[in-house]
Amino acid sequence: MGLLSDPNRRRALIGLLTRLNAPICVVCYMAGVAWFMGLAFEPFTLRTYMSENAMGSTMVEERFPAGERALATGREFAAHKKKTGGMPVDWLVKTMQSRGLEVFTQRFSRRLPFPDEDKERYMVKGTNVYGILRAPRAPRTEALVLSAPCTAGDHNNQAVGLLLGLAQYFRNQVYWAKDIIFLVNEHDLIGMQAWLEGYHHTNTTGMDWSPLQGRGGSIQAALSLELSSDVVTSLDLVLEGLNGQLPNLDLANLFYAFCQKIGVLCTTQGKLQRNDWDSVSGYSHAVQTMMLMAMKQASGRPWGDHGLFLRYHIEAATIKGINSFRQYKTDATTVGRLLEGMYRKLNNLLERLHQSYFFYLMSSLSHFVSIGYYMPAFGLLGVILLLRALDLWVQLASPPPRTEDGVVDAEQVSSPGVLSVLTPLAVVLTAIAVYTLLPPATRARVFYCNPVCDVRRVSLCLLKAADGSGHGAGLEGAEAGGRALPGRAAGLHRAHQLLPGLHPGSHAGARGRLRHAQRAKVTRLQRLGDRCGSVRSLTSRSSSPPRRVLSAFVLVVLSPACTLLFSVFFFQELQEMPVSFLDGWMLYLSVISQGILDHALYGSLVYPLVALLVYPCWLLFWNILFWK
Amino acid sequence: MKILGLLSLLATHLSANSVNIEENAGQFFSSGHTNNWAVLVCTSRFWFNYRHVANTLSVYRSVKRLGIPDSHIVLMLADDMACNHRNPKPATVFSHKNMELNVYGDDVEVDYRGYEVTVENFLRVLTGRLPPSTPRSKRLLSDDRSNILIYLTGHGGNGFLKFQDSEEISNVELADAFQQMWQKRRYNELLFIIDTCQGASMYERFYSPNLMALASSQVGEDSLSHQPDLAIGVHLMDRYTFYLLEFLEDIHPASKSNMNDLFKVCPKSQCVSTPGHRTDLFLRDPGSALITDFFGSVRKVEITMETVNLTDPIEQVEQNFVNEDLQKESYSYVDQLPVSEIIHQGLQLVNNNPGLSHPHLSFTGQSVCCRPSSISSI
């Protein structure tokens, strides 16, 4: 009471806060957005550099000679794959054994909660085949992994061929200090998850796998190869993993250093690096690359087979070979040399990669922004929440007389009816209960009688249920709010500051905050105003229809569902593959179902986050809108 | 007649020779040392510090070639590069690229290996305070007529040298260790070579007599490595040691090159860093000190049929001392423990080196020698 602080100054500050709240919020919002956009501007970024001393420079001699033989092996693999109609296990085992590896297989099976129309699978059964190259003189304490997925059709044959060619070459060298595990996994991510769970003796996702007969020690780093053509024009590096986790930046630095040494064109996010950073198009290119990376991280799904390694603290990345219409082609021998160089350098590691950054955004392969530089943007957006909360708290504590209206508000003190407070709470609680207690299949079944649900129908059901609950249908439909939303999260920033790459969502969310601020004022004014309006809602109160309709419209636009829809279209635009509305809608539905599948299969966190935090919060706002 | 002529010729020749031998006898003992020792230390481990091991082994090879036997060399290597899992040529350590010269060879005798190379062991070797069970090969059994070569390489900084990525030796500790050696009459002259970053800081604090020091770089400078080998994947040598070895390749046991030539090794144009040296504590003129006084174990042997009167040359040495500056008198040995002085005069604590925790010798003439209670204050 005035002992340690000056009450006058405090009152002045509080008055400032309440008076200038909206402008400060607007300024913070603009500053946050501007900061984030400015991150891609090249003078504000740092050039990438190798931080790990043990890896040093690219000072090795790559001598891999057998690119053509690797491609021939790939063709053989393709033939056997077509013959067996899946993974040619016996042929792979025989080939790896002839190259001197210790070969083991692992069977796994998984029943998806509902059929995945994108990949056309429901009951997934498969086999992983892996061969271990033991280090000639070292104890079996550490390992490196090179993996290539076995996909149906005509994809990735060259990757498997190159993997086997490298295995043969590596077997003849004496300088390996770590075991190298060559893994060919079936059904890409599901197989990889089974293998990793078997390797580390964990069982987090309820998959059924046979235990691994052979092991190699703790894995220090892993690379996944995707190569579908005999020659490539560029190599793309994919870093984003499960739940937006990234490998250590040193892995990307290593890749880039070798690309420069060997002279291969290397990209990230599929976008070529440009040198004209001071021109508008160059800058927008950098912004697009960075936004793509942010959105991919926000989706929470692994964008390559490497994505599942990151959870076990294994630095991993995926290298994709891209064959576009460019004149200069790189052959398989050069790609093999690049991989050989990378593995020789990873071989020199004494401890796990930890010297460089774990949280970063890359506007190109040679420039990055670390978390210390991009977090202030989100911090500014978070400050808006804080200011709003302070403002509300101050007003709750001592409501200032509303002299500008000419009427003293005496009704603010009266608490709203019990029903209006309890109902949204009940909705949220049932949502949590349903989510945690029911298995996914039942959850899907709740909305649709057919026991085997089509994925699109599931998504549509969820959306309908969401609308229904929003309009007071009061179903376990809040459960429907559980949408896994790749690409964005409205209001996620307020729950989870640590998930990087949430700019699009926070963009929307902060706008939501602003709207909410205005809405709060609106509702207060409406209490004084005339009572009319007949909007069907949970706690329908009367208010001025145009304003309420406008607010309702804005809130619907900002709802998780719509934001996701916009993000899907935005994402396609960024990737320079814009889609028509119908295709976008289909993509949107598949995104929702993929999100649920990701959560069920690999433990992705986006779906429960949205279900338990975002959607109930939005519901509460919706109810507040129609509050008295 | 002819016989007489011949005899007279022989007589004059012999007399002339005898006169020469008498004079040359004086030169036999001009350097003052009778045996040579070498302590070669590589302080860093891990595969990417391959070049430090190669440095040390190259100096070891040169020193052996010039005559110092393994029994007089204490070789300390902190890591085993030859048998490292990452070595594509196992059991070899190369110092030139294209694998021209394998310095590991078949007859390397490493006295302190791996984790035995610590600051404590190094200082114990220097000062001789080893447990009785230590084998001879791990001891520096020098006396007051030994010339010792000490070569250190690794990662260093301003005033310290890093041992094994976990501890450091400071320049103050090193200076005190040399002072202990001086007090215990464990060396006649000592040549200290260090090839690390900011190496000159390590010899700044020396205060014992008869020390000469060389470093590969000044304070604030980094010593750079010389050449990478792409097949092995590491840098093979440091620049200073590389050019030092090129220089030593021209030295043979009978060569008369002196220390001034050694100071010219690796100028800034080749080394990028500025090598430094320190000779103010050295009694003799560096130009009169031969390279082989430290790097080789040269026995001066001349066969003669004459008897030589040896009393004169010894006096000649003392006369040399008298002719030098009077300041040199302060550098004489003192009693190890002059009890009477302790009782009657009390301790005189002179702080020559700030930061030292125990009292030590002063050079003012009336001095009291106090035995330090511990070897090093790590």
The pLDDT tens digits of the residues spanning A290-314 come to 999 999 999 999 999 999 999 999 9
Q: Which two tokens stand for residue A365?
A: 């392969």
DSSP β-bridge partners for residue A124: A110
In chain B, whose CA is at the least distance from the CA of A58? B233
| Residue contact B86–A173, C-beta within 8 A | no
Across A592-596, B86-90, B278-282, B345-349, least confident range: B345-349
Q: Which two tokens stand for residue A483?
A: 């949408």
pLDDT of A394 over the 70 cut: yes
**A266: how many CB neighbours lie within 10 A of its CB?**
22
Q: Considering chain B, what is the average pLDDT of its residues?
A: 80
| Residue contact B48–A176, C-beta within 8 A | no
Residue A525 CA to residue A189 CA, distance in Å, equals 54
The shortest CB-CB distance from A135 to any of B47, B85, B228 is to B85
Residue whose tokens read 């009319």: A532
- Name the band, by pLDDT with cuts 50, 70 and 90, for residue A486: very low
**Which candidate in A58, A141, A170, A175 is best for mutational testing of the B interface (most B CBs within 10 A)?**
A175
> Which of chain A's residues have a Cβ under 8 Å away from the Cβ of B47?
54, 348, 350
The shortest CB-CB distance from A138 to any of B85, B230, B235 is to B85
**A416: how many CB neighbours lie within 10 A of its CB?**
12
In chain A, whose CA is at the least distance from the CA of B234? A59
pLDDT score for A402: 55
pLDDT score for B373: 36
How near does any CA of chain B get to the CA of A216, in Å?
16
The shortest CB-CB distance from A54 to any of B48, B85, B230 is to B48
Q: Which two tokens stand for residue B25?
A: 């006898």
A546 compared with B72, residue with greater pLDDT: B72
> Which of chain A's residues have a Cβ under 8 Å away from the Cβ of B81?
none
Q: What's the whole-number mean pLDDT along residues A281-288? A: 90
pLDDT of A498 over the 60 cut: no
pLDDT score for A376: 93
Side-chain half-sphere CA neighbours of A118 within 13 A: 14
> Which of chain A's residues have a Cβ under 8 Å away from the Cβ of B46?
54, 350
**Alpha-carbon B21 to chain mean position:** 31
**Which candidate in A52, A55, A60, A173 is best for mutational testing of the B interface (most B CBs within 10 A)?**
A60
In chain B, whose CA is at the least distance from the CA of A347? B86
Query: Phi and psi for A606 in degrees, rounded to 5?
Result: -70, -40
How near does any CA of chain A get to the CA of B130, in Å?
34
pLDDT score for A130: 96
Type of residue numbered A293? M
Across A407-411, B51-55, B142-146, least confident range: A407-411
pTM (whole model) above 0.80: no
Pair type for strands B73-77 and B35-42: parallel
Q: What's the whole-number mean pLDDT along residues B220-248? A: 87
**A354: how many CB neighbours lie within 10 A of its CB?**
12
- Name the band, by pLDDT with cuts 50, 70 and 90, for residue A408: very low
pLDDT score for A279: 85
Residue A185 CA to residue A163 CA, distance in Å, equals 12
Q: Which H or E element spans position B148?
A: strand B146-153
pLDDT of A41 over the 50 cut: yes
Q: What is the dihedral sign for C-alpha A31, A34, A39, A43? A: negative
- Name the band, by pLDDT with cuts 50, 70 and 90, for residue B158: very high
Share of chain A above pLDDT 90, in %: 46
pLDDT score for A443: 53
Tens-digit pLDDT profile for residues A68-98: 999 999 999 999 999 998 899 999 999 999 9
Across A130-144, A254-268, A324-338, B11-25, least confident range: B11-25
HEC readout, A491-520: CHHHHCCCCCCCHHHHHHHHHHHHHHHHHH
Tens-digit pLDDT profile for residues A325-337: 888 899 999 999 9
The shortest CB-CB distance from B48 to any of A174, A344, A348 is to A348
> Which of chain B's residues have a Cβ under 8 Å away from the Cβ of A173?
88
Q: What is the dihedral sign for C-alpha A445, A447, A450, A453? A: negative
A264 compared with A401, residue with greater pLDDT: A264
Across A66-80, A403-417, A485-499, B284-298, least confident range: A485-499
Residue whose tokens read 């964005």: A488
* Cβ atoms of A508 and A466 closer than 8 Å: no
- Name the band, by pLDDT with cuts 50, 70 and 90, for residue A403: low
* Cβ atoms of A284 and A37 closer than 8 Å: no
pLDDT of B86 over the 80 cut: yes
> Which of chain A's residues have a Cβ under 8 Å away from the Cβ of B197?
none
Residue whose tokens read 């290539």: A148
pLDDT score for A161: 95
How near does any CA of chain B get to the CA of A354, in Å?
17
Task: Name every residue in A having a CB less than 8 A away from some CB of B.
Answer: 53-54, 56, 59-61, 135-138, 173-177, 344, 347-348, 350
> Which of chain B's residues have a Cβ under 8 Å away from the Cβ of A137?
83, 85, 90
> Which of chain A's residues have a Cβ under 8 Å away from the Cβ of B88?
173-175
Residue B102 CA to residue B57 CA, distance in Å, equals 9
A404 compared with B113, residue with greater pLDDT: B113
Residue B173 CA to residue B167 CA, distance in Å, equals 13
pLDDT of B223 over the 90 cut: no
DSSP β-bridge partners for residue A209: A108
Residue B148 CA to residue B68 CA, distance in Å, equals 11
In chain B, whose CA is at the least distance from the CA of A140? B85
pLDDT score for B25: 61
pLDDT of B106 over the 50 cut: yes
Q: Which H or E element spans position A601?
A: helix A581-602
Q: What's the whole-number mean pLDDT along residues B154-161? A: 92
Across A611-620, B29-38, B351-360, least confident range: B351-360
Residue A35 CA to residue A19 CA, distance in Å, equals 26
pLDDT of A9 over the 90 cut: no
pLDDT of A2 over the 80 cut: no
How near does any CA of chain B get to the CA of A176, in Å?
6
| Residue contact A61–B87, C-beta within 8 A | no
Q: Which two tokens stand for residue A526?
A: 């409406």
pLDDT score for A225: 95
Residue A458 CA to residue A463 CA, distance in Å, equals 9
| Residue contact B86–A54, C-beta within 8 A | no
- Name the band, by pLDDT with cuts 50, 70 and 90, for residue B283: confident
pLDDT score for B338: 62
> Which of chain B's residues have a Cβ under 8 Å away from the Cβ of A347?
86
- Name the band, by pLDDT with cuts 50, 70 and 90, for residue B222: confident
* Cβ atoms of B164 and B205 closer than 8 Å: no
A584 compared with B373, residue with greater pLDDT: A584
pLDDT score for B302: 72
DSSP state of A479: G
Across A46-60, A399-413, B160-174, least confident range: A399-413
Largest CA distance in chain A: 91
| Residue contact B46–A54, C-beta within 8 A | yes
| Residue contact A54–B230, C-beta within 8 A | no
- Name the band, by pLDDT with cuts 50, 70 and 90, for residue B110: very high
Q: Which residues of B80-111 are buried (b: 16+ CB within 10 A; e: fewer)?
A: ebbebbbbbeeebbbbbbeeebbbbeeebebb
pLDDT score for A539: 34
How near does any CA of chain B get to the CA of A353, in Å?
16
Residue B57 CA to residue B63 CA, distance in Å, equals 10
B318 compared with A272, residue with greater pLDDT: A272
pLDDT of A509 over the 50 cut: no
pLDDT score for B139: 94
Query: Phi and psi for A111 in degrees, rounded to 5?
Result: -105, 120
Type of residue numbered A572? Q
> Which of chain B's residues have a Cβ under 8 Å away from the Cβ of A136?
85
The shortest CB-CB distance from B228 to any of A59, A137, A174 is to A59
How near does any CA of chain B get to the CA of A307, in Å?
29
pLDDT score for A336: 95
pLDDT of B354 over the 50 cut: no
pLDDT score for A621: 84
pLDDT of A481 over the 80 cut: no
pLDDT score for A535: 27
CA dihedral A566, A571, A577, A583 (to 10 degrees): -40
Nearest to B76 by CA among B39, B124, B107: B39
A354's CB contacts (< 8 A; 6+ apart) are A248
Tens-digit pLDDT profile for residues A420-445: 667 767 777 776 776 665 555 555 54
Please report how the helices A545-557 and A615-625 are oriented relative to each other, as an axis angle in degrees rounded to 10: 170
Q: Which two tokens stand for residue A372?
A: 């210390």
Provide the total of helices (H) and of strands (E) in chain A, helices listed first: 20, 12
Catalytic residue (one of B52, B72, B96, B197) = B197
Largest CA distance in chain B: 83
Is B42 annotated in the active site? Answer: no
pLDDT of A22 over the 60 cut: yes
Q: Which residues of B294-320 are buried (b: 16+ CB within 10 A; e: fewer)?
A: bbbbbeeeeeeeeeeeeeebeeeeeee
Query: Phi and psi for A130 in degrees, rounded to 5?
Result: -140, 145
Residue A395 CA to residue A523 CA, distance in Å, equals 14
pLDDT of B323 over the 70 cut: no
Tens-digit pLDDT profile for residues A106-146: 999 998 888 877 777 788 899 999 999 999 998 889 999 99
Q: Is A548 helix (H, G, I), strand (E, B) or coil?
A: helix
* Cβ atoms of A515 and A550 closer than 8 Å: no
Rounded to a whole number of angstroms, the CA Rg of chain A reads: 28
Q: What is the dihedral sign for C-alpha B338, B340, B343, B344? A: negative
The shortest CB-CB distance from B47 to any of A61, A137, A348 is to A348
Is B197 annotated in the active site? Answer: yes
CA dihedral A295, A300, A303, A304 (to 10 degrees): 150
How near does any CA of chain B get to the CA of A53, in Å?
8
Residue B14 CA to residue A429 CA, distance in Å, equals 120
Q: Which residues of B31-60 are buried (b: 16+ CB within 10 A; e: fewer)?
A: bbbebbbbbbbbbbbbbbbbbbbbbbbbbb
pLDDT score for A533: 28
pLDDT score for B297: 82
| Residue contact B88–A60, C-beta within 8 A | no
- Identify each DSSP E strand in B208-321 by its residue range: 211-215, 225-229, 234-238, 276-278
Query: Phi and psi for A408 in degrees, rounded to 5?
Result: -75, 130
CA dihedral A405, A408, A412, A414 (to 10 degrees): -150
Indicate left, alpha or beta for B30 from its phi (over 0: left) and psi (-120 to 50: alpha): alpha
Q: Which H or E element spans position A252?
A: helix A249-262
